[in-house]
Chains A and B, each alone.
Chain A
Amino acid sequence: MPTVNPTRMELTRLKGKLATASRGHKLLKDKRDELMRQFLELVRVNMSLRQRVEEGLAAANKNFALARSAMSNETVEVSFMASKQDIEVEVQPKNVMSVNIPQFTVKTRTSNESDIYSYGFAFTSSDLDEAVSSLAAVQADMVKLAEVEKACQLMAAEIEKTRRRVNALEHIMIPQYQKDIKYISMKLDENERSTQIRLMKVKDMMLEEAHHYKEKEAQKAAG
C-alpha cells in the first residue's frame, strides 16, 4: 500500500514531481537518441580506423622483427637512444551532448621527415629504415584512432548511464507517482463523499428536531 499522506498538499507536491519527471524523461530520451546517433556514426569510423591501423602496425612489426634479426641487440638499442624527433599532443576538450571528449593535435619538434631516423646508416640494416618509415606512415592514423576510440568509450559510458536514467524514470518513478496521485485523489473523493452524506444526515436530524415530522405522522395515523 502506498505510504503517502492523502492530503491536498501531498497531492500538489506529487503532481509537481510528476511534471518534472515527465519533462526530465523526455529530455533524457532525446539526449539518449542523439548520443546514440552520433555514437553509431563514430563507432563505424572507429572500427575502420582500427582495422587500418592494425594492418599498418602488423606490417611495421614484421619489418621491425626482420630488422632486429639482422642486427645485434646493442646496435638496435643504440640506434634509438637519441631520438631526434619529439612528439607532443595538445588536448582540446570538445563537448558533445554533455560528454567531454578530447581532441588531439600533434606537435612534432621538427617538421623534417627524415628526422625519424635517429641513427647513422652505417651500422644498421635497411630493414630498420623501412620499419621506421612504415611506422611513421601509420602514426597520424594512430593519433586519430586514439581520439575516436576514446570518444567512443566515453560516449558509450554516457549512453549507458542515460539509458538507465530513462528506464528508471519511465518504468519506476513515473508509474509510482501516477499511482500515488491516483490513490490520493481517490481518498480525497472518498472523504468528500462521506462528508456530504454526513451533512445530509445532520440536516435530516435537524429538520426532524424543528418540525417533529415523525410525531405528527404518528398522530395523523392514530387520529
Chain B
Amino acid sequence: MVRDVIIIGAGISGAAIARELSRYRLKVLLLEKEAEPAFGVSKSNSGIIHAGTQNPPSSLKGWLCVEGNRLLREELAADLGLHFVQCGQLIVVFDLADLPELDKIKAEGEALGVKGLEIVDRAWLDAREPNLGPEVKAALYVPSAGIISPYRFVYALVENAVRNGVRLETSSRVTAVRRRPEGFEVVAGGQVFRSRFVVNAAGLYADEVSAMAGAPTFKITPRKGEEYLLDKKREHIANHIIFPLPSKTSKGILIIKTSDGNPMIGPTAHETPDKEDLATTDAGLAEVLAGARRMMPSLDRSDIIAYFAGLRPASGKDFIIRHEDAVPGLVNVAGIQSPGLTSAPAIAVMVAGLLKERGLPLTPKEEFHRLRPRPVHLFQVPLEETARLIEKDPSYGDIVCRCELVSAQEVRDAIRRGARTLDGVKFRTRAQSGRCHGGFCTTRIIKLMQEELGLPVTAVSKRGPGSELIKDERK
C-alpha cells in the first residue's frame, strides 16, 4: 500500500499534524519509536499554553504561538475534551529599573496580537498572588496564557486522529528513509512503509531522520531542563504561572501552576550533547530551588514529591518548518522547542498547507469526527458527580490510587484508550503521580494491565521493552 503521508514522531507536533490531516480523504500513517505517543520530548513538557509573549515579533514561532493559543482556546479544548485552564501568567521583575524590559516584552507581544497585556504593581500582586516574596517589585500580566496536561493533549489528538482513520504504529523506530522516483520508502520497526510525502516530526532525532532522507540541513542540540513537582497540598501556592525576566537562552526558572493541581518549579536550561541524558542532578535541584524561592521564599524542599528531566530539541533560535526542496515531498518540522506545545495546532495547519502547495489534495471527508469524549477523572469532579458515576458503573468506586483519587474504572478506560505501559497509565490517569509515588497502587495497576491486556507479569513494563518491572515469578 502506498500511503499519502507518513508522519515520523507521535509527540505533540506529529499528533497535531495527524489529527489535522485526518480531516481529509488521505491515507496517513503515524510512526512512533517509543511504546506509546508522547514518550519523547512531549512527556517532559511544562504544560504551559503560552500567550505569545517572549518571542521576537518577526519570528515564525511568535505568530504560530499566538495562533496556536487561539485555536486551542476557541476550538480544540472543547472539541477534544481537554482540561485547559486559562490562569494567566506573570513576568516579574526584582528591580524597578527593569520596567523598560517589561515594556519591551509588552510592546513585542502586542505587535504579535497578544491581547490584554498589563503592567501591574506590587499592590495588584499582593491582592492576587500573596505568596510572592519581597524582592518582587512589579510584573507584566498576560491573561491569555494557561495550562494543560501535555501528554493528555497528545493522547487526545492521537485518539481522535485514529478515530478518523489515521494508522498508528508504536515501537517503530525509523532506521531508513529512501527517496524513490515514485515516492518514499520508510523502514521502521523492521517493516517497510511507502508514501508520497513524509513529515519529519522526530523531535530530538529530526536532524538524523532528515539526513537519512537526504537533507542534512540542520543539527539538533538538546537543551536539558530539570523540573520538580510539588505536593498537591500546595496547589494554591500560586494562582498564575510565574516567570522571571527571560534571559537570552531561556525563559528562566518558573513557578508553574499545572492543570492537575501539583505546582511545578523549573526548568533549568543547559545544553547537552547526549540525546538520552534524562538524569536529574544535585546542581539542577539547587538551581531550581534558588530560582523559584527568589520569587516565592516559602517554597520548601520538603514540598517536592517528584522530579524529571526533559530535553528541548533546539536548532538555532526559531522553529524549522519547511519543505526540503532537495528531497521533494519531505517536510521538516524541527527545532520545536518552547512554545511548541502551544504552537502545535497552528503548526499542523501550516504543514497541511505546505503539503497542499506540493500537490497533496486536501479534500474534506464527508464524515469527520471532530469531537472526542472527555475521559472521566474523579479528581476533577465534585463528590456528587462521583456518586452519579458510581451508580452507572460500580468500579468508579473502587479506588486504586489513594493519593490522586483514581479508580479501577479510570485505569481500565486508559488501557482501552491505548495505554500499554505503567507510565502510559500514569500520564493518562495520574495514578502513581502523587505523594506515595506508586508505593501503594503499583501492584494493583500491574494486575489491571494483566487483566486487560492478557500479559504475563514479567511482560508489564514501565515504558516499553527493556523496562519490564518484574524479573521473575516465584515458583
**Are A and B bound to each other?**
no
- Residues in chain B within 8 A of chain A (CB atoms): none
